[in-house]
Amino acid sequence: MKQFTLATLAIAVSVAISTNAFALENEKQSSASEKTDKDNSVSEFSVTTTRIASNLKPRANITGSFSERTIEIMSSEASSKYLQNPRAADSATFPMRLINKLNEKPWINSPSFPIRAKDMACFYGVPSYRYPQKFDSDKTPVVVTADKVSGKLNDKKAHILTYTGNVEVTQGDKLLNSDIVVYDGKERTLTTKGSAVIHEPEYTISSDEDMVHNLDTKQMNLTNAAFILNGSVMSGTADKMNIDNKKGSKTYKGATLSGCPVDKRSWHFYSTTFKTEKDAYFGDAWNDVLFLGKVPVFYTPYAQIPLTKKRHSGLLPVSLEYKSGEGISYSAPIYLNLATNYDATVTPGHDAKRGNIYDLQFRYLPFNNLSGEINATYLPNDPHWSPKNDDYSRWFINIYQTLSFLENDLNFSLDYSKVRNDDYTYLSDVSQKNAAITDSSLQQSFKASYAQDLYDVSLELRKYQNMFSTSNISTYRPFAMMPQLKANTYNSYGPFYFKLKTEATHFSLDKMKNDMTLSMNRLHAEPSVRYLAYEGYGTSVDMGLTGFLTHYSQSDLEYLTSSYKYRLGFNEYKDSVTRALYLADVHAKSTFEKKVLDMNHTQTLEPEFKYQYIPYKDQSNIALYDTTNRYDDYYTLFSPHRYAGIDRIANINMATFGLTSRLLDAHDREVFRVALAQGYNFSDNRVKLHQTDTLSTNPRTPLEALIDVVPFAGMSIHAQAQYNPDGDEFYTYSGSARYTDPATGYMLGVSYRYYKDGNYYVENYKQVDLKQLGLEVKLPISSSWTAFAASYKDIEQSYNIDTKFGLKYDDCCYAVTLLYENYMNMDWKNMQHSPEKLIGVQFELKDLFAINVRGITDPNGTGTHYLPSLDPTNLNR
């Protein structure tokens, strides 16, 4: 091991030494001016030396001798002949030579209108962007080199020099190449004859006609010029062009500008005059015409053309939508860059069914620790809404803000949403992506939290705007928490870990019986201690003891109706209820590993056991304030909580067994995982969520199974199931398989989901099994054409959930997408499903403008109105 370490270090040192040697060789071949610059820059470096400790001298000597031997071998005659062998050495050293060449002058994308990775082939040959150097054009000399120079320097009348053959004119980071350059000392000009190319860090200009550069005014005039923005998709031409290097401005006459490849211009702008200033975000253009091919389609007398990708005010892509039976809807967002830390987006639009609609998004960052966003929507006149009065206007507002102090230890957040009073159908009529919704009610919350290493404290005020009529007191509405205070502390001592969780919550329901507000209180404390009994050789054993002490003050429950009692899960109320329970558990887990297959893969076997005990306590006199049922899987079997929330703590006397096996590749990335778990109940659960629920009496829990596989790159498989061995039936199972080819973009995915009694008929609320089949496909037809589709069907009730088709043509500088989507929409008035159909065309002139499809969330992929495109496979990759 010691020799291996020395050898590795020696190779690294030898490579470093040889690299410096090559660098010195390159410096010898550089020009005199470059050598002067390098010599001047040496003084900027600070060199310090440190004496090496005596115990490191032998290793340093060994390393040095190894480096010397390496250089001797590489300099030998045999090595020289090997490197000259075109069949062996050339191919063997090509990768390293290519890497070295790229490292010398790496190709850099422009920060303004960069070339997309998938479009690189279209823009092959575009020069690399370089970062401009700052220099004084009055003091930096102009250097001219050529194969031949002729003229009479001493003749003051002529004072003309003619440079011919590979002429290079340089000043700072600017370079001009031409076959012939004429210097006029009297006029102080440089004039190119024939073709010439100007290379600057940010652009490249070429012309076959004379260029005139005035050395005093620092101006250059060109005719019939072509220009390319280096590292960018943008290029253009100009009949006449003036470059003022002193002011940093450029003026183009009879100019064209396009984001297409030079030899394939599908669109371009033509301007009679186009001018840019130094460090400006925009260029001013007059008499502008947009051409699609050779056809003019748009004219404006004046326009500001963006020069950078930095934020600036202007029009954003327009969105259009066509719905069957309704008509065309559109929105035209306008972006306002108010300041570096303030901006707004105003979106006027029209909905075919709801009329005119106006959206506002205002974002602000006045301080580094304070940020916020305000979103608002206003409908001045909705003809399909039936308000209580003659005012048909509707509105929505959301305010979201965060504030932090003390290096993010102290945090505040506000999330407030509201609609017009008595507008109970707003959420179903008008989609709002910014609204926080709980049980179909708008959430309004304020949170404050403070965290340290050994404790944390949080305070939350949360209420809701009910989206149901308050006159219908049988309608279930969530409880407001005004406030909820939580405090936790934790510490460890040796093998012991301590934790204390506390909570105090005041619940309320406003405008209930006789417009009174009902109030309830809950106090909860949860101390726990864990002891790590053993840890070593991949095995750990720990045990814990947890207490649950909860007190309820709920005298106002008597004012609730019987339907509310059913929804809140209590038989009879008590003014005051105190519940005391405890949890005792023991947990053990081991991990075994072995090399398998090609001995580069590792297989693990991870058995896990947990025993948990909680005694029974009657809780039928406690309401469900914020507690609901929970979906079970492999991991929840090891949790003591059978319900999500603390208003129900189920009695447990159960042992849970689990087994997980993983397959890791040579880089310890998971390629396969299978997990099985099942619990055995020594006593039945007697705590019900709702008092009409039927509890299972089976001693064994359902068998939970989980499989995730990535058999090869691009392929993923996921499956999970919940099987009841006593009844020989599946409660739930799901599976998905997906293949993606990153090289071509091809994707095929299929999924199926089953849930016993997981759905219902909307006509009579009768429970029915959920059986859902899904299919996704993305098919590249050619390098430019791609078809994609997704469809989800309810097999049990035989109706379409969501179906989407798309066909996209993607060229180097524009893209067109045809879209169709048909999704199920719920008609609550008639209690039936009704299809909602959208048809749209998305058109994009890349880096210029786009027309999007309104109402379709993923216009370029297989994500649908209800279901996004995702891979549920969960492996540590």
Cα angle 478, 479, 485 (rounded to 5 degrees) comes to 135
Domain extents for the chain? 117-310, 317-435
509/141 Cα distance (integer angstroms): 81
568-596 residue pLDDT tens: 888 877 889 999 999 999 999 999 999 99
Mean pLDDT lowest for which of 164-173, 548-557, 616-625, 688-697? 688-697
Amino acid letter, 637: L
Say how far residue 832 (Cα) sits from the centre of its chain. 37
802/826 Cα distance (integer angstroms): 13
627/645 Cα distance (integer angstroms): 4
838 has a pLDDT exceeding 90:
no
Read off the tokens for 653.
């006397």
Count of Cβ atoms closer than 10 Å to residue 506 Cβ = 17
pLDDT of amino acid 403: 96
pLDDT of amino acid 156: 61
Confidence of residue 567 (pLDDT cuts 50, 70, 90): confident
Where are any strands of DSSP class E within 2-134? none
Confidence of residue 14 (pLDDT cuts 50, 70, 90): very low
Count of Cβ atoms closer than 10 Å to residue 732 Cβ = 21
690-743 residue pLDDT tens: 888 888 888 999 999 999 999 998 999 999 999 988 888 899 999 999 999 988
Q: Is 79 helix (H, G, I), strand (E, B) or coil?
A: helix
Task: Quote the crossing angle between the two packed helices 77-84 and 89-104, to the nearest 10°.
Answer: 80
Count of Cβ atoms closer than 10 Å to residue 788 Cβ = 24
Residues 6 or more apart whose Cβ sits within 8 Å of residue 4: none
778-804 residue pLDDT tens: 999 998 899 999 999 999 888 899 999
64/9 Cα distance (integer angstroms): 10
Mean pLDDT, range 134-141, rounded to an integer: 83
Length of the chain: 877
Q: Are 550 and 538 in contact (CB under 8 A)?
A: no
38/558 Cα distance (integer angstroms): 89
pLDDT of amino acid 345: 95
Confidence of residue 12 (pLDDT cuts 50, 70, 90): very low
81 has a pLDDT exceeding 70:
no
448 has a pLDDT exceeding 80:
yes
Could you tell me which residue, 284 or 324, shows the higher pLDDT? 284
Confidence of residue 102 (pLDDT cuts 50, 70, 90): low
Q: Are 590 and 606 in contact (CB under 8 A)?
A: yes
Could you tell me which residue, 712 or 32, shows the higher pLDDT? 712
Strands 670-681 and 652-664: what pairing?
Answer: antiparallel
Confidence of residue 24 (pLDDT cuts 50, 70, 90): very low
pLDDT of amino acid 89: 55
42 has a pLDDT exceeding 50:
no
Rg, Å, the chain Cα set: 37
Mean pLDDT lowest for which of 170-179, 223-232, 376-385, 857-866? 857-866
What would the CATH number be for the domain defined by 117-310? 2.60.450.10
33/627 Cα distance (integer angstroms): 78
Mean pLDDT lowest for which of 90-99, 161-170, 359-368, 625-634? 90-99
Read off the tokens for 440.
């179909």
412/460 Cα distance (integer angstroms): 10
Mean pLDDT lowest for which of 25-39, 250-264, 748-762? 25-39
Q: Is 437 helix (H, G, I), strand (E, B) or coil?
A: strand
pLDDT of amino acid 23: 31
Phi, psi of 96 (to 5 degrees): -70, -40
- Select from 462, 553, 452, 550 the least CA-distant residue to 501: 550
Confidence of residue 616 (pLDDT cuts 50, 70, 90): very high
- The dihedral region occupied by 798, where left means phi > 0, alpha psi between -120 and 50, and beta the remainder, is left
pLDDT of amino acid 753: 94
CB burial readout 822-855, b (16+ within 10 A) else e: bbbeeeeeeeebeebebbbebbbbbbbebbbbbb
- Select from 504, 755, 542, 803 the least CA-distant residue to 631: 755
Amino acid letter, 830: N
pLDDT of amino acid 545: 98
83/94 Cα distance (integer angstroms): 11
Confidence of residue 286 (pLDDT cuts 50, 70, 90): very high
Residue with tokens 């209800």: 866
Read off the tokens for 732.
């739930």
627/621 Cα distance (integer angstroms): 14
pLDDT of amino acid 21: 33
- Select from 586, 519, 613, 583 the least CA-distant residue to 557: 519
335/438 Cα distance (integer angstroms): 32
Alpha helix segments (H runs only) across 517-637: 562-568
204-260 residue pLDDT tens: 999 999 999 888 888 999 999 999 999 999 999 999 999 998 888 899 999 999 989
Phi, psi of 92 (to 5 degrees): -70, -35
147 has a pLDDT exceeding 60:
yes
Terminal CA-CA length for the chain: 30
Residue with tokens 């090399």: 595
Amino acid letter, 304: Q
672/526 Cα distance (integer angstroms): 38
38 has a pLDDT exceeding 90:
no
Confidence of residue 394 (pLDDT cuts 50, 70, 90): very high
Q: Is 378 helix (H, G, I), strand (E, B) or coil?
A: strand
Confidence of residue 90 (pLDDT cuts 50, 70, 90): low
Confidence of residue 828 (pLDDT cuts 50, 70, 90): low
pLDDT of amino acid 588: 97
Beta bridge pairs of residue 807 = 787, 818
Beta bridge pairs of residue 585 = 544, 612
511-532 residue pLDDT tens: 666 677 889 999 999 999 999 9
What is the DSSP secondary-structure string of 107-141?
Answer: ----SSSBPPGGGTTTTTTPPPP-PPPP--TTTSP
Residues 6 or more apart whose Cβ sits within 8 Å of residue 371: 363, 364, 365, 401, 402
pLDDT of amino acid 866: 86
Cα angle 180, 181, 182 (rounded to 5 degrees) comes to 125
Q: Are 823 and 865 in contact (CB under 8 A)?
A: yes
Read off the tokens for 325.
């039976």
3-state DSSP of 316-369: CCEEEEEECCCEEEEECCEEEEEECCEEEEEEEEEECCCEEEEEEEEEEEEECC
pLDDT of amino acid 278: 83
Count of Cβ atoms closer than 10 Å to residue 27 Cβ = 11
pLDDT of amino acid 654: 96
Mean pLDDT, range 164-181, rounded to an integer: 91
Read off the tokens for 665.
């590749």
Q: Are 740 and 833 in contact (CB under 8 A)?
A: no
Q: Are 267 and 258 in contact (CB under 8 A)?
A: yes
Share of the chain above pLDDT 90, in %: 46
pTM of the complete model: 0.75
Mean pLDDT, range 334-346, rounded to an integer: 93
Give the chain's mean pLDDT.
Answer: 84
464-502 residue pLDDT tens: 887 765 544 445 678 899 999 999 999 999 999 999 999
329/379 Cα distance (integer angstroms): 14
- Select from 683, 680, 682 the least CA-distant residue to 703: 680
851-863 residue pLDDT tens: 888 778 788 889 9
114-131 residue pLDDT tens: 888 888 888 888 999 998
45-72 residue pLDDT tens: 333 323 334 444 444 454 555 556 666 6
109/121 Cα distance (integer angstroms): 14
pLDDT of amino acid 421: 86
